[in-house]
Amino acid sequence: MRKNQQAWFETVGDRLDPGLVHQLKQLRQGKTQRSTLPVIVQFVSDLEDKHREELYERCQISDEESMDGELKFFNGFFGQMKEDTLRDLTRHEGVAKIFYDREVRAFLDVARKSTGADYVQAKEGLTGKDVTIAVIDTGIHPHPDLMKPDKRIIAFADLINGKEEPYDDQGHGTHCAGDAAGNGYESEGLYAGPAPEAKLVGVKVLDAEGGGQLSTVIKGVEWCVENKEKYGIRIISMSLGAPAFESYRDDPLAQAVEVAWHHGIVVCVAAGNEGPFPGTISTPGLDPVVITVGAADDRNTVDRKDDEKASFSSRGPTLDFLVKPDIYSPGTDIISLNVPGSPIDKQLPEKRVGEHYIALSGTSMATPITAGIAALLLEANPNLSPNDVKSILMSTSQFMPGTLGDSAGYVNVKKAVALAKSYRSFQEETVR
């Protein structure tokens, strides 16, 4: 018998990522009405400019296709392509790989005291002052807890609608901003984050439904790196992600956050909410460099003895069989900032806490809490590198029972700040 002939996209090996192969099959089988697919094209590292321009032109051969923008950190571009164009691109020696520009989602499903942040705020006077946290999410609403008595939203980049003034048409990003740096202005300090005096930058990469494209998130990371010095960005908080289909070495979003890390920015990312099953870490949380945060359930008590890993929190190992997450922070029923009239506000009326706050659960909440704690460490010792911050958080964490693929500990702010300060003596000796 004659073997069934394979489609071209099944014969090109690793030139296409698995997600794109699946979408091409759907296209062939008529299971989608679209004629083009959103893709990210990566060039070979030594591609000459003339060949780069040739590829750009090749990708705009019809009215339906488009080259929508460059991805500098990823050495490529993103756009909408037909199947025939994608086939031609795989044959071009200047193309290293083509990825499906898949959807990225916001991760939804007594924190300050249980982490020990309230202790260092009171005893050490640390509040995240002069440290800037960039929240890459659905936007950031000018909530009183971020604007009074001082305006702490110092910049806003809208990569969805291009607006200039801060806003959040979904609600998720504002809650995350409050998790990290709310000052409790409307609650007399009760619902404050770990870094109530930190500055904030909102980078909107997700729409009113909490969704967006991989390429937009990558552009958001690029924006933070390009504006690092201008706004003093030391930390990125990303409570979003997408399913992981391949090694972090080939994953576009993982590569982007690594660039930010190596530019001196601490990157905190959510593990995901697909637990308790093993092997459920999403991208960019699968990257070994950045700080991947899992959610702990503090049982609504200050005492840490009854705290446990939240059942919904994604577990390792990653696709590369790496142990993840790196740290656990509170992520269950976290009370933070609400955006009145937003989709979250309307969908979860039972979670509202008064007029200005709402309680949410997820690794989305644990991640900015960790980002706020990182701000305290950087305030205590501004000379810390991203690697220093990660090492300090992990080495001072409290043991939490777990499997081989999930052996991270519970964040301990008091011990972490003490170790951050002790680093100074070593750093001063090095300078001498």
State how far the alpha carbon of 187 is from the alpha carbons of 113, 149, 305, 333, 369, in Å.
Answer: 16, 13, 28, 17, 18
Q: Which residue has the tokens 């959040």?
A: 168
Helix residue ranges, H only, 29-183 = 49-58, 83-90, 111-115, 117-123, 144-147, 172-181
Task: Locate 337 and state its tokens.
Answer: 């900032």
CA distance 394 to 238: 19
Q: Count Cα atoms within 13 angstroms, Cβ side, for 32.
A: 11
Give CA 281 to chain center in angstroms. 13
Whole-Å CA distances, 79 to 42, 72, 231: 12, 14, 30
Cβ atoms within 10 A of the Cβ of 47, count? 19
> Residue 15 in contact with residue 29, Cβ under 8 Å?
no
**Which residue is catalytic, options 109, 364, 388, 397?**
364
Return the amino acid letter for 255. Answer: Q
Is position 364 annotated as part of the catalytic site? yes
Residue with tokens 């960790």, as numbered in its chain = 370
Through-space distance between the first and last CA atoms of the chain, rounded to whole angstroms: 78
Could you identify the residue written with the tokens 């509202």? 352
Give, for 78, the enclosing helix (H) or strand (E). strand 76-81
Catalytic residue among 17, 137, 168, 388: 137
The residue from 141, 172, 175, 356 that is catalytic is: 172
Q: Which two tokens stand for residue 212?
A: 């967006």
CA atoms within 13 Å, Cβ hemisphere of 165: 2
Cα separation values, 163 from 167, 185, 211, Å? 9, 27, 18
Q: Residue 178: which residues within 8 A CB-CB, separation 6 or more? A: 143, 145, 146, 191, 193, 336, 337
Is residue 263 annotated as a catalytic residue, yes or no? no
Active site residue 118: no
Q: Taking a C-beta distance cutoff of 8 angstroms, is the pair 152, 181 a contact?
A: yes
- Residues annotated as catalytic are 137, 172, 364
